[in-house]
Chain A
Amino acid sequence: MSRTPSTPRWRRAAAVCVAALLSVGTLSLGTARPSAAEVAGENVKVALTSDIDTFNPFLAILATSTGILRFQYEPLVAWGTDNEPVPGLASEWSATPDATTWTFTIPEDRLWSDGQPITAEDVVWTFEQIQQNEALQAANGGLVENVEAITAPDPQTVEIQLASPQASNPGAEVPVVPKHVWQDVDPAEYANDTDTVGSGPFTIASYTSGQSVELKANPHFWRGAPKVPGLTYVVYRNTDAAVQGLRTGEIDVLSGLTPAQFQSLEGQPGITTSSGAGRRYTAMAINPGALDKDGNPLGDGHPALQDPVLRTAIFTAIDKNQLLETVLQGLGEPGKTEMPTVYPMYHGFAPGTEEVTFDPAAANAMLDEAGYERGPDGIRLDEDGEPLRFRLMGRNSDPTHQQMADFIQPWLADIGIDVEVSMVTPNQVNDDSTLGRYDLYFTGWGIGPDPDFQLSINTCASRPAADGSGATSENNWCSPEFDELYAAQHAELDPQRRAELVKEAFSVLYEASVNNPIWYADTLEAYRSDRFTGFTKQPEETGVITGQNGYWGLYTAEPVATAEGGAAAGGEPGGLPAGAWVGIAAAVVVVGALAVYLVSRRRGAADERE
């Protein structure tokens, strides 16, 4: 009688939607998977909480990628468990007394993971590629800048001729690639993420972007093959989920925990937590009157801050120990110079340096004596009668910055200084600090084992041009005394003497009160100690397991199981875990019930059709 389509339109539309979805699903499920030689269940599974840019060692910049590449490629000279230079591809090396010619010896037992011998030719080829091909300078161009010529007098010897004397080892840090693989590809385009050939303890077997990286043990690694079949890096986009993954045994090692997460994992069965001394300093910097490379004023720093007495008074009013205890829950070390404790050679003050310690009364006295009178509202006035009112900038991506500011604001109010706090994006902080558009700001740098770079960005020559282009300086600060010390350590071959010069240079920077390290935060890690053991920390007693200047932590890992004569606790056999089946069964039941219900209804409806 009336309009009664046998299949209502909306049902047809729904059917079309389902079909479309299924095809999308299959499309996604069918995406190419790299074929990897899997050794199921036994790899050390490491959470990967930051991003990977590329595994091409000439282009990789992000710390996660370069960190993984440290497992794959030995440089000529590696960093030991105490961050000291140790043999890598080269077993020994020497420099001429003027530090311009360096000679490296590669023993004959060094092999690539495919069994081919590693020779001086590979090293020369790698260095020359970087020198000659601009596209390959992205990652390590700066490391070979001072290299004038590199030659291989014989297959086991590499000679590096430098343009100017250099005490930091030119064979450190540059990943050497196998010429026999790379000469047949375009090195600037090669992804280097499937069945790769390397010289380190593990090589990359496969990479699924945004999901996981598989590394397999290199049987030819010269220090001996690892005791685990490989590493699996598992992508986690938030550490809270990764903490759960560690609890359930989906991952074995996790780094980058917050203090709260760290404490929640302490004492959990099968899990060991490790608070390792970090490589990073966190500081507050004060704009000392930034100048560009030609000596012209840069930015808009408060002119009163050009007075070193005022800057020192500000640092004297800050209680680092309190910040460390409350903001970091004590998981770190109070800062001295920019070199953290993990580099004992370079950490600490030069003799005679005056350390700024927390003392609000002294800070007030300093300011009184310097003539900063308090105004009617208690805020001190500068020589023009303007109140001392400063901006304090921090990163909104780092909650500790706001927390520190919450303490520092009242502390500075106590000495008659008004602070206006603003938390902005990291990029904004980079822009403003480069161009000197700040009064006070929180900063921090990760420090490598060789101090030369960190010193270099404090030299007068490192200051940018007026528009911010050119070099990037740490503080846009300039001191001839510092530059002299920098130049002296740069060419000093005697390690002891060089360390003294380095400490002296950092102490000069410290005493200028432009950048005062607050703390060296610990790196908080946790691992499944019921599954793996033997992780070597860097430095050995106090250091970190992952994110090392090298491969020690995971290279020395070994399974626990063998000793206990059985499968490791929490180990998963191949296939889906039991819980998965419960979940799937529940889903099937629900879908089934729904289907039965719908079908029965349609039958009922059909009976009554008009």
Chain B
Amino acid sequence: MSVTETAAALEEERPRGSTLPRYLALKGGGALVSLAMVVVLGFFSFRVLPGDPAINMTRGRRVSAEEVERLRAEMGLDDPLPLQFLSYLGDLFRGDLGVSYVYRREVTELIAERLAPTLLLTGTAALISVVLGLWLGQKSAWRRGSLFDKTQTGLALVFWSVPTFWLGLILLLVFAGGLGWFPTGGMVTPGTDPTGLARVLDVAHHLVLPVLTMVAVVYAQYLMVMRASVLEEMTSDYLTTARAKGLREDLVRTRHAVPNALLPTVTLIFLTIGGLVGGAVTVETVFSWPGLGYLTFQGLSAPDLPLLQGTFVVFSSIVIVMNFVAELVYRVLDPRLKAS
């Protein structure tokens, strides 16, 4: 969905006023329905993938036919599909995502291990790109048509259209390989075990290039939406009133125009943050970041069904939860929604 489309969709979705419990129940119920669909989809879609896990995992090694069959039985692939689905559902309700075929460990454990680095990377990138995008966006709108506006929107759109993988590799080549300012990959310098501040600095040092890549590619969407919504407010009467009171132009913008323009933007922020987590796959691959993306990629090779289902449910849940949060934040920010 393009930036403008998202904004348009958001306009339509603007919820009507209602009491808080009713509102929560409605939105929460919607989120749960989405989650249930993800759970079902996650199970069946991966079973359409080509590749028999038992055959792929025993390929090239000396195994008897009996062993392959035993492996298949152990993975539960012998059972009819509906039965497999029921046991998957049962396990899921107990918070058990099963045991990875390849890693031979609990999927929940594997995901927990990789989730924190992914959240650190995407969280930092999201924060910076939101702040940067919103700030540049409202500035550009206020001075629309100026050199500042043209260069900022132009630059942002150039980065927005650059393939993430390409930009990451270029940054890696220049700042890590060429200048040697930053490491070429990973999250912690291997062979060292820093603690405390040294560890924070080490991680921060590794974080710079991947975050820079992500920010460069995504901040444009915040800039553009913010710019559009400030522009929408610019002709409003209340701004004339504010100016009539003798406020400086800057204050008119930051105190009056921006808070109102923020409404559609906030929802967009939360919607895109969910997507960012999934989109981190490319950046994680370029910078060898130990996150969830690569785990998913590896899962496809067997195919490691429990792992794929697990990461799919986690990625989708993040998006769903973020959407739900967006609804709540919107309600907080827009007092009009509170009136029943």
- Are these two chains actual partners, yes or no? yes
A-chain residues with CB within 8 Å of residue B70 when the two chains form the complex = 134
Interface residue from B57, B248, B303, B329 paired with A61 (Cβ < 8 Å): B57
Which of the segments B10-18, B36-44, B84-92, B182-190 contacts the partner chain?
B182-190
Q: Provide the B245-260 mask, 1 if CB < 8 A to any CB of A, else 0.
A: 1011011001100110
Sort chain A's interface into a size bin. Answer: 35 or more
Asked if A210 is at the interface (CB within 8 A of a chain B CB), the reply is yes
How long is the Cα–Cα vector from A435 to B223 in the complex, in angstroms?
Answer: 54
Contact of A8 among B198, B203, B259 (CB under 8 A): B259
Chain B positions 150-175 with a Cβ under 8 Å from a chain A Cβ: 169, 172-173
The answer to whether B205 and A576 have CB atoms under 8 Å apart is: yes
Contact mask for chain B residues 291-333; partner A; CB cutoff 8 A; 1 contact, 0 none: 1001100100101000000000000000000000000010011
When the two chains form their complex, are residues B192 and A38 in contact, meaning their CB atoms are under 8 A apart?
yes
Stretch at the interface among A136-144, A336-344, A400-408: A136-144
Please state if B285 and A237 are interface contacts (CB–CB under 8 Å).
yes
Residues of B within 8 A of A211 (CB): 186-188, 190, 290
A594 to chain B, nearest CB (A): 9
B172 and A244 form a contact (CB under 8 A): yes
> In the complex, which residues of chain A have a beta carbon less than 8 angstroms from the beta carbon of B298?
51
B62 x A237 contact (CB < 8 A): no
Task: State which residues 47-66 of B face A: CB under 8 Å.
Answer: 49-52, 55-65
Q: Are A25 and B285 also in contact (CB < 8 A) when A145-B64, A240-B169 are? A: no
Interface: A425 (CB within 8 A): yes
Q: Mark A457-483, 1 if CB is under 8 A from B, else 0.
A: 000000000001111100000000000
Residue from A53, A62, A434 having most chain B Cβ neighbours under 10 A? A53
Q: Are B59 and A430 in contact (CB under 8 A)?
A: yes
B24 interface residue per 8 A CB criterion: no
- From the candidates A134, A430, A582, name the one contacting B181 in the complex (CB within 8 A): A582
Interchain nearest-CB distance for A485 vs B (Å): 19
Q: Does A258 contact B (CB under 8 A)?
A: no
Interface residue stretch chosen among A40-48, A117-125, A532-540: A40-48
Structural contact, A142 and B191, CB atoms closer than 8 A: no
A/B pair count, beta carbons within 8 Å: 239
Q: Does A569 lie at the interface of the complex (its beta carbon under 8 Å from any beta carbon of B)?
A: no
Q: From A9-17, A148-156, A543-551, give the one contacting chain B.
A: A9-17
Please tell me which one of the listed residues B120, B186, B250 contacts residue A234 in the complex, with CB atoms under 8 A apart: B186
A-binding segment of B1-9, B26-34, B102-110, B213-221: B102-110
Is A567 located at the chain interface by the 8 A CB criterion? Answer: no
Q: Which of A247, A582, A584 contacts B204 (CB 8 A)?
A: A584
Contact A28 B117 (CB under 8 A): yes
A576 touches B202 (CB 8 A): yes
The answer to whether A605 and B251 touch (CB under 8 A), given A242-B185, A470-B68, is yes
A10 touching B258 in the complex, CB below 8 Å, given contacts A469-B65, A576-B201: yes
Interface of B is mostly: helix
Of B104, B200, B288, the residue contacting A56 (CB under 8 A) is B104
Q: How many angstroms between the C-alpha atoms of A471 and B69 in the bound complex?
A: 9
The answer to whether the Cβ of B199 comes within 8 Å of any Cβ in the partner chain is: yes
Report B123 CB to chain A, min CB distance, Å.
Answer: 5
> Does any Cβ of A come within 8 Å of B208's Cβ?
yes
Q: Is B193 in contact with chain A by the CB < 8 A criterion?
A: yes
Is B116 part of the binding interface, using a Cβ–Cβ cutoff of 8 Å?
Answer: yes
Which B residue sits closest to A471, measured CB to CB? B65
Residues of A within 8 A of B193 (CB): 33, 35-36, 38
Complex contact A43–B251 (CB within 8 A): no
Whether the Cβ atoms of A10 and B262 lie closer than 8 Å is: yes
CB-CB < 8 A to A272: which residues of B? none
Q: Does A59 contact B (CB under 8 A)?
A: yes
* A31 to B, closest residue via Cβ: B116
A426: Cβ under 8 A from any B Cβ? yes
A214 within 8 A of B: yes
Q: Are A427 and B51 in contact (CB under 8 A)?
A: yes
Contacts of A564 in B (CB 8 A): none
Q: Contacts A56-B104, A241-B184: A137 and B67 contacting too (C-beta < 8 A)? A: yes
A45 partner, pick from B50, B131, B191, B248, beta carbons under 8 A: B191
Contacts of B169 in A (CB 8 A): 240-241
A446 within 8 A of B: yes
Q: Which residues of A contact B76 (CB under 8 A)?
A: none
Given known A-B contacts A29-B203, A244-B172, A470 and B69 have beta carbons under 8 A apart: yes
- Judged by a CB distance under 8 angstroms, whether B147 is at the interface is no
B65–A587 CB distance below 8 A: no
A214-244 vs B, Cβ < 8 Å mask (1 yes, 0 no): 1000000000000000001111111011111
B25 within 8 A of A: no
A532 to chain B, nearest CB (A): 14
B208 x A428 contact (CB < 8 A)? no
Contacts of A330 in B (CB 8 A): none
Alpha-carbon separation in the docked complex, A520 to B169 (Å): 31
Contacts of A468 in B (CB 8 A): 52, 55
B230 to chain A: closest CB distance in Å?
13
Task: Return the contact of A584 from the options B63, B105, B201, B248 (Cβ within 8 A).
Answer: B201
Please tell me if A267 contacts chain B, counting CB pairs below 8 Å. no
A456 within 8 Å of B by Cβ? yes
**Chain A 578-610 interface 0/1 with B at a Cβ cutoff of 8 Å (1 = within):** 011011100100000000000000000100101
CA distance A241 to B110 in the complex (A): 25
A496 within 8 A of B: no
B276 on the interface (CB 8 Å rule)? no
Q: Which residues on the B side are within 8 Å of A40 (C-beta)?
A: 191-192
Chain B residues, CB < 8 A from A424: 50
Q: Provide the residues of chain B in CB contact with A250, threshold 8 Å.
A: 183-185
Contact of A563 with B by CB under 8 A: no
Query: Which residues in A have their C-beta under 8 angstroms from that of B332?
Result: 9
Cβ of A370 within 8 Å of any chain B Cβ, yes or no, is no
A119 to B332, CA, bound (A): 71
Residue of A nearest to B175 (CB): A583
Contact across chains for A238 and B285 when beta carbons are under 8 A apart: yes
* List of A residues within 8 angstroms of B186 by Cβ: 211-212, 234-235
CB of B261 to closest CB in A, whole Å = 10
Give Cα A248–Cα B198 distance, bound, in whole angstroms: 21
Residue of A nearest to B182 (CB): A583
14 chain-A/chain-B pairs, Cβ below 8 angstroms = A29-B199, A33-B193, A38-B192, A45-B190, A53-B103, A59-B104, A61-B102, A134-B70, A209-B114, A210-B291, A210-B295, A244-B177, A427-B303, A431-B51
Closest 8 CB pairs of A and B: A427-B51, A142-B62, A244-B177, A210-B290, A28-B116, A212-B190, A470-B65, A245-B184
Beyond A28-B116, A250-B185, list 4 extra A-B contacts (CB 8 Å): A18-B127, A33-B193, A236-B288, A241-B287
Residues of chain A at the chain B interface (Cβ within 8 Å): 1, 4, 8-10, 13-14, 17-18, 20-21, 24-25, 27-29, 31, 33, 35-36, 38, 40-41, 43, 45, 51, 53-54, 56, 59, 61-62, 134, 137-139, 141-143, 145, 208-212, 214, 232-238, 240-245, 247-248, 250, 424-428, 430-431, 434, 445-446, 453, 456, 468-472, 574-577, 579-580, 582-584, 587, 605, 608, 610
